[in-house]
Structures are given as structure tokens and as C-alpha cells.
A = this chain, B = another copy of it.
Amino acid sequence: MIDRYSPEKIYMQISKAIEADIQDVFEPGDLYLSEKVLTEKFGVNRHTVRRAIEELVKQGILEKRHGFGTFIAEKRLAYCIKGHQRFTESVEANDLLAESTVLNKKVISARGGVAEKLQLKNNDEVIQVDSLRKVEGKVAALITHFIPKDICPAISEKYESGSLGEFLKAESNIQPKRISSLVSSAMPNAEDSFRLGMASSQPVLKVKTVNEDTQTGRRIEYSITRFRSDMIQLEILINT
């Protein structure tokens, strides 16, 4: 099974063998073989097996849990590679993706980027809302909204789900309008990759948006959206 005279390193041979093994026999979510079993199966040292597994974890194919075992990762990267079935969203749409769940709400003091984008003074009160957006039942994005508290204090109590834009219209007679969007690519922090249910080795697509009120011109919302890069791509629409 292992060719010790091949120029290909043993850990890479094992890594590929495991990858093939997974696709033949295992399902996403299954517990995979332990390091001890693999050590005996391939006739190599445990550290070599660990190195092979490390490759697959890096690729998002396996996941480990200290003291418990190694798992076949839920579809992720494979999803994207197989069918190029990524969802295409438009940044022109004010409220992306249908389903929405609020994760938490809190009042913070404006500072740095938030104060700047919302044109507030430091320590002005801002409501922060973190919410999860799903597509076909799967988590696709994580959005952090910042809204000056005086604009719509009702958010803290009432807003639970659905479109935040619609909520603002209904509660505060405000017509939000997107005035700028900045798109970038970055690695997710540990919390975000966990919430998005994705491998921490995969990047996210970040969109920072500022909305103002059509009538008054006041900045009313700043949001940072992190899309799962294996699920979502953005389409830029052209106005002709």
C-alpha cells in the first residue's frame, strides 16, 4: 500500500489513500479511524499518520476533536469543487438571502471604524445586531449590523428575525439606501468559522456596507457581512 522508494513522501501517499478511502466508504459526519488503527493499517509511525491527517484537516476534508476522534467533515469545499453550485447573490439587493436568525443584540459605544462610517462621535451609543443568514436551510453568511441607538431604540426589544431594512421602515419611517460597499477577502476568526460551520482553513468573502436615510441623508446603518466562500459568490450588476 505504501511505496517506501517512491519520491512521493509517505505522508502524502497516506493522505491520498485516506482521501480515497473516505470517498468510497464514509459519509460526512462519520467518525473516522483512530491514529492507532491507521498506524497499524499503513505500517508507519503514528507521527507520520498525524502528518497525513494534518494535510486533510488543512484541506477541510477531516476534522479533529481532542480526546475523541477524527471526523469526516461535512460537505464544504467538495461542494464547491464538484458542481460549481455556488449561490450567486447580488450586492445591489439591500437584504440578501431570505432566512434570518438573530444571534445576539447589544448596545456598544461607537469607536474606530463604526464611529467613522456612521459619522458619530466616540462613545455615542450604537446597537449591534449579529445575525445568521441561510440559503436552503444552510448557513451561508454572518452579518453584524451597527445602528445608532437613537434612530431606532425599538430594535433592542422587538427585532427578532427577517429583514432589518423592512423593520427600520416600519418602526422608524426610514428609507435605507446603500451608499457604499467594500468587498474584500479574509480568513475568518475562530468564532465566525464556527458559526458559519466551515473549516477555519477556508476564507470568507467580506462586504462592508453603509446605508443612509434617503430623506435626511443621515448614516443609519453600517454592516459587515461574512459570506462562506464555498457557498456564495457575488454578482456585480451593471446599470446601462
Contact = CB atoms under 8 A, between A and B. Distances in A.
A236 B238 CA distance: 10
B179 A238 contact: yes
Interface stretch (A25-33, A62-70, A136-144, A199-207): A199-207
A202 B91 CA distance: 24
27 contacts: A84-B113, A91-B236, A178-B238, A179-B238, A180-B235, A181-B235, A181-B236, A181-B238, A182-B234, A182-B235, A183-B183, A183-B235, A184-B205, A184-B229, A184-B234, A185-B185, A185-B186, A185-B206, A185-B227, A186-B229, A187-B202, A187-B203, A203-B203, A203-B229, A205-B205, A236-B236, A239-B239
A156 B205 CA distance: 35
A205 B183 CA distance: 9
Contact of A185 (B178, B179, B203): B203
Interface in A217-240: 227, 229, 232-236, 238-239
B178 A234 contact: no
A-B pairs with lowest CB-CB distance, top 6? A203-B203, A185-B185, A181-B236, A185-B205, A185-B229, A184-B233
Interface of A: 84, 86, 88, 91, 113, 178-187, 201-206, 227, 229, 232-236, 238-239
Given A183-B183, A185-B186, 7 more contacts: A86-B184, A179-B238, A180-B236, A184-B205, A184-B233, A185-B203, A203-B229
Contact of A233 (B179, B182, B233, B234): B182
Q: How many copies does the complex hold?
A: 2
A123 to B, nearest CB: 21
A163 to B, nearest CB: 20
A203 B91 CA distance: 21
Contacts of A113: 84
Contacts of A206: 185
A132 B123 CA distance: 44
Contacts of A91: 236
Nearest to A239: B239
Nearest to A233: B184
A41 B206 CA distance: 41
